Structure 1
């Protein structure tokens, strides 16, 4: 009986060029996501000389900036970080939907892995939980997903 071919990404960031795009809106949350992502990438071998952090106004701008970075072909991967917290109007729904859709389109269009670290939370407490307390740090998870995807794509 034959065995299947298994393709899996290694968590090794050595030699990669990475961009982190982080929103300033809700920066008290986003800064913790950035810190988690940077720490993860450094612990997995990324030379910080190959790391660019781009600060932008808010989540709605994430797709445009990620697309511009991906189109430059300068970066092996991108981590998109932000936090949208539900308010009293439908604004939350529009921002979250369009930012998510645009980030996904960027990944597909440019074949550049983008770690999705946009928190979409119903409350500040939920955001705090996802930025390094009870629910872990979603910046770390986004960086890990991006890194593993880079290494899988190299094998395809």
Structure 2
């Protein structure tokens, strides 16, 4: 039996982070968590490109373009969709989830899903450095692990 476990060594990696500006009280905290975690694991700040998009719905389009270019080792997507008074929430959540999932499967590099979908702002803030940790940071460690696993597979 052979077992593969990715490492968190980010040296010499180029990372793209796509961040939604909408609900930036939350997304800036997610970005801080991702950025700090990448830096703590050896990714140089010069090797991190941050792309700000208007909202979560626009994330898949930019992720697709970045993945197609193939000049990064991985992509982190960060956003916050908070339920409001209309059915818009379901449409945005569905579109973002489907779009990012498609890119993760068909793209050239690993993509981590860090778009929060919460019932209220308190839940979002709790997941952006509050009681429930920081999902941006979790995406960063997950991405480093996925990059390492995929590179191992490619070498075999």
1:148 and 2:124 aligned: no
Taking only aligned residues, the RMSD between alpha carbons, in angstroms, comes to: 0.7
Any stretches of 5+ residues in structure 1 without a counterpart? none
In terms of mean alpha carbon deviation, does 119-128 or 102-111 score higher?
Answer: 102-111
Shift in Å at residue 77 of structure 1?
A: 0.2
Partner of 1:66: 63
Q: TM-score, normalised by structure 1?
A: 0.96
User: Tell me, what secondary structure is at the counterpart of 2:133?
Assistant: coil
Please state how far the C-alpha of 1:99 moved relative to its aligned partner.
0.4
**What TM-score comes out, normalization by structure 2 length?**
0.96
Is residue 50 from structure 1 mapped to residue 25 from structure 2 by the alignment?
A: no
Q: State the SS of the aligned residue for 1:155.
A: helix
Contact 2:110/2:147 (<8 A) preserved: yes
Tell me which moved more, 104-113 or 60-69.
104-113
Aligned partner of residue 9 in structure 2, secondary structure: coil
Q: Which runs of 5+ in 2 are unaligned?
A: none
| Aligned match of 1:78 | 75
How many residues are paired up? Answer: 153
After superposing on structure 2, the runs of 4+ consecutive aligned residues of structure 1 that deviate more than 2 Å are none
